[in-house]
């Protein structure tokens, strides 16, 4: 195994390409977050970034994390990537507790099992190296552990529409294309969990379309689990499951465009902002059970209008 950056992009494609076995891809890694808490310790105070995230993601699922900035989304990705150790709670990836891995296990986990694409595409790339060199270099970590990524470099470039640019330095590409290359480097090691932080935030509409297509193509072909963070409504709308992180917890989930509140493991539910207008903090609510579920009734309003339910329950 050599860790050198090969010099000829085209040559890499020829030697490594087209030799992929037809075996179906291994399933992605399931993710389970259990009461995940993270505090950043600052000199004067602590910042609570995550305050009890419960989240299950199936093997091979693609999920978009949404929510305003500062709500803990990047922190969550970094914990799953094994870059940051949580303060409390557990993060299981493929059933393994990332927070309990030894430094040796973590190094292998980061090289082989997981790929992360940071928000700024150039943070993931060697700007003066070509596209093919970047993608090739990104798998040397996995190869050093004797793993042969399922998809050859040439096939990955083809899949993501990068073949034409294979021999161009990354620095001359458009922002959208750089981001697709960054995604290719995240996927290059063949990790069965791919984490992508705000891939379209700095792109125009064409770049955003290109990146959205790349993520879906990659997901379809590799069946890896993909967790991405986005503010982009179009990208979010293209993904069947969305999870909104609010105040360091799972605030809501979207399934095929419909929004749902989520009952957390501790039994709490976050009310969405539009409901907080009707039921502001400190409101006493009565929970009225019926066949389809439970209504929340403002107790003050009930007294004002003197509802019939009061008599039924009295
Ligand atoms: P998001 O990705 O949703 O914007 P982050 O996970 O980046 O949120 O941040 C969550 C909170 O943690 C924010 O209040 C942010 O200021 C704080 N934070 C993030 N990184 C650090 C850090 N390295 N040191 C201190 N505070 C941090
Ligand atoms: Mg962020």
Q: What is the pLDDT of residue 19?
A: 43
pLDDT digits (tens, 9 = 90+) for 100-120: 999 999 999 999 999 999 988
What is the C-alpha to C-alpha distance for residues 40 and 68, in angstroms, rounded to an integer?
19
Give the CA distances from residue 2 to residues 105, 133, 137, 138, 291, in Å, rounded to whole numbers and listed in that order. 21, 14, 10, 13, 64
* Residue 15's pLDDT band (cuts 50, 70, 90): very low
Q: Residues with beta carbon inside 6 Å of ligand 1?
A: 40, 42, 47, 49, 69-75
Domain coordinates of the chain in residue numbers? 9-246, 276-314
- Is residue 81 within 8 Å of 116, Cβ to Cβ? yes
- 262-268: average pLDDT: 89
Does the pLDDT value for residue 236 go beyond 90? yes
What is the C-alpha to C-alpha distance for residues 63 and 192, in angstroms, rounded to an integer?
14
Q: Say which range, 18-27, 41-50, 167-176, 212-221, has the weakest mean pLDDT.
A: 18-27
Proximal ligand: closest to the CA of 119: 2
CA of 303 to the centre of ligand 1 (A): 43
Which of residues 26 and 62 earns the better pLDDT score?
A: 62
pLDDT digits (tens, 9 = 90+) for 51-96: 999 999 999 999 999 998 999 999 999 999 999 999 999 999 999 9
Does the pLDDT value for residue 6 go beyond 70? no
Pocket test for ligand 1, best of 40, 86, 249 (most atoms within 8 A of CB): 40
Classify domain 9-246 at the CATH superfamily level.
Answer: P-loop containing nucleotide triphosphate hydrolases (3.40.50.300)
pTM score of the predicted model: 0.87
Which protein residue has the closest C-alpha to ligand 1 atom 24? 40
- In 92-127, which positions are buried (b, 16+ CB within 10 angstroms) versus exposed (e)? bbbeeebbebeeeebebbbbbbbbbbbbebeebbbe
Does the pLDDT value for residue 194 go beyond 90? yes
Proximal ligand: closest to the CA of 39: 1
Q: Which alpha helices (DSSP H) does 223-281 contain, by range?
A: 233-237, 273-276
What is the C-alpha to C-alpha distance for residues 189 and 185, in angstroms, rounded to an integer?
8
Percentage of the residues of the chain whose pLDDT score is greater than 90: 74
């Amino acid at each position: 195994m050599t860790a050198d950056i090969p010099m000829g992009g085209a040559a890499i494609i020829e030697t490594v390409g087209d030799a992929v076995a037809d075996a179906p891809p291994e399933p992605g890694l399931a993710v389970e977050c259990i009461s995940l808490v993270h505090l950043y310790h600052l000199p004067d105070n602590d910042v609570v970034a995550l305050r009890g995230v419960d989240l299950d993601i199936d093997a091979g699922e693609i999920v978009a994390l949404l929510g305003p900035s500062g709500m803990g989304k990047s922190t969550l990705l970094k914990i799953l990537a094994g870059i940051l150790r949580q303060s409390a709670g557990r993060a299981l990836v493929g059933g393994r507790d990332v927070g309990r891995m030894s430094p040796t296990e973590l190094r292998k986990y980061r090289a082989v099992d997981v790929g992360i694409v940071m928000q700024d595409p150039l943070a993931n790339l060697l700007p003066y190296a070509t596209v093919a060199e970047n993608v090739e270099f990104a798998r040397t970590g996995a190869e050093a552990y004797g793993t042969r990524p399922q998809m050859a470099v040439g096939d990955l470039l083809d899949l993501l529409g990068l073949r034409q640019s294979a021999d161009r330095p990354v620095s001359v590409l458009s922002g959208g294309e750089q981001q697709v290359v960054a995604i290719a480097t995240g996927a290059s090691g063949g990790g069965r969990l791919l984490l992508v932080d705000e891939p379209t935030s700095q792109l125009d509409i064409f770049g955003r379309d290109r990146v959205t297509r790349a993520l879906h193509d990659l997901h379809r072909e590799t069946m890896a689990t993909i967790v991405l963070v986005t503010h982009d409504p179009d990208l979010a709308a293209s993904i069947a499951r969305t999870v909104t992180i609010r105040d360091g917890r799972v605030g809501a989930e979207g399934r095929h465009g419909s929004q749902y509140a989520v009952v957390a493991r501790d039994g709490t539910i976050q009310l969405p902002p539009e409901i907080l207008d009707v039921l502001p903090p400190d409101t006493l609510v009565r929970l009225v059970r019926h066949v389809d579920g439970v209504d929340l009734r403002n107790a003050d309003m009930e007294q004002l209008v003197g509802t019939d339910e009061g008599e039924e329950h009295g």
